[in-house]
Amino acid sequence: MEKNGFMKALKCRECGREYPLAATHVCEFDFGPLEVAYDYERIQTALTRETIGTRPQTMWRYRELLPVAGEPTVGRQVGFTPLVKADRLARELGIRELYVKNDAVNYPTLSFKDRVVSVALSRSVEMGFKTVACASTGNLANSVAANAAAAGLDAYVFIPHDLEQGKVVNSLVYGANVVGIKGHYDEVNRLCAEIAGKYGWAFVNVNMRPYYAEGSKSMGFEIQEQLGWHVPEHTVVCMASGSLLTKIHKSYQEFTKLGIVPKTPWKIHGAQATGCSPITTAQKSGLDFFKPVKPNTIAKSLAIGTPADGFYALRVMKETGGSGEDVSDDEIRDGIRLLAETEGIFAETAGGVTVGVAKKLIAQGKIPRDSSAVLCITGNGLKTIEAMSGHVGETREIRPSLREFEVLLSQDKPELVSQQGR
Ligand SMILES: *Cc1c(COP(=O)(O)O)cnc(C)c1O
Ligand SMILES: [Zn+2]
């Protein structure tokens, strides 16, 4: 293995200037975002379906396409979550074939953020950092806190002060330093940019962002492998910064370019909550640029009003012929319930956004009824209980008596009780 593994440089997405593989994320000339560039010629010989197949079932089976120089050291068990064939949900939504990529059960903190964090922290350790940090809407804080604890790193996580209880406790339990900022995510992010510059910590989604973002590709690599080495016709992805959507697209491009999957067309669709929909609003108006918004939605994990990769997410939707759509808080809850009742999967609010948007796009014909689609479910419902409590029916309480149970049952199924009773 060479000094930098299969990475060549950091490269500006705007002007193409190359930079050393350091903890830096913007181009000095035009402030364009930096992205990891790889040596695809060497990867082509190193990474084949066969080599992938011999490796453990984790996201690291695609390691040549992930930005670490040596062996990963943090989050080595992350990924390879189930791709569930969702026939009952398909029937409800009226589409021929449907799959759910279920990162609600990603290891160890039950969201797709474990993918980006395992890459960012492995790279941080490699570069000699002792303190890691992040600006988060919740799930990222959970994952940085847990993975830093397991790696023996000091962690500072910054979150909006009004997050769901589950997400706050899920960061504190690992002993991380949790800082609640009295403001929304975009203000948290601005503060973190200042702190990163001053203290030189590894901020996974600020100065380490080029490495961090690449971790999202693993969700797309897994989808292709789990479909039998095929790119799905349609993929629906929920968006906060828009990074995950662009990286799923990149994973399809890379496997196609390397000949790991056959060249077939694909469309990538973006999903947001109506209360924070800068990207889908721009997409629906046919604009290349979004207008920043002040978020107001129960989908707090997606509540980024100034999305860092919004521009590139719009471009991916446009280039692939995909669409954008958004859903109200009630539609988010309907989406969560529908996924739970048809497939037995309890997603967080972001998953409700994905399901609700898929339903709309199928009804509008933007995802044709005779096609095949993958829905990316990115987080677990147990972390956003507040969003559903009071909206899921109620427990009926009785004393431990057969008679009381039969009174209850006779309300539901009188024929059952009268057959038995005398
Ligand atoms: C962070 C997050 C996303 C979106 O991430 P981006 O890459 O910033 O668009 C989606 N779902 C959940 C549950 C998240 O926590
Ligand atoms: Zn540049």
Question: pLDDT, tens digit, for every residue of 201-253?
Answer: 999 999 999 999 999 999 999 999 999 999 999 999 999 999 999 999 999 99
How far is it, in rounded angstroms, from Cα 20 to Cα 127? 13
In sequence order, what DSSP letters do the residues of 161-229 get, joined into one string? TT--HHHHHHHHTTT-EEEEESS-HHHHHHHHHHHHHHH--EETTTTTHHHHHHTTHHHHHHHHHHTTS
Query: With a 6 A CB cut-off, is 147 part of the ligand 1 pocket?
Result: no
The mean-pLDDT minimum among 312-321, 365-374, 376-385, 408-417 falls in 408-417
Query: With a 6 A CB cut-off, is 379 part of the ligand 1 pocket?
Result: yes
Is pLDDT at 197 greater than 90 in this prediction?
Answer: no
pTM recorded for the entire structure:
0.97
pLDDT tens for 240-294 read 999 999 999 999 999 999 999 999 999 999 999 999 999 999 999 999 999 999 9
Confidence band of 417 (pLDDT split at 50, 70, 90): confident
Give the chain's length.
422
For residues 355-374, average pLDDT: 98
Longest CA span, the chain: 86
Which of 62, 67, 65 lies closest to 22 in space, CA to CA? Answer: 67
Percent of the chain with pLDDT over 90: 97
CA of 113 to the centre of ligand 1 (A): 7
CA of 20 to the centre of ligand 2 (A): 14
Name the closest ligand to CA 272: 1
Confidence band of 374 (pLDDT split at 50, 70, 90): very high
The pLDDT of residue 370 = 98
In sequence order, what DSSP letters do the residues of 322-365 get, joined into one string? --EEEE-HHHHHHHHHHHHHHH---B-HHHHHHHHHHHHHHHTT
Confidence band of 418 (pLDDT split at 50, 70, 90): confident
H or E element: which one contains 155? strand 154-160
What domains can you pick out in the chain, each with its CATH number? 7-77+113-213 (3.40.50.1100), 83-109+216-388 (3.40.50.1100)
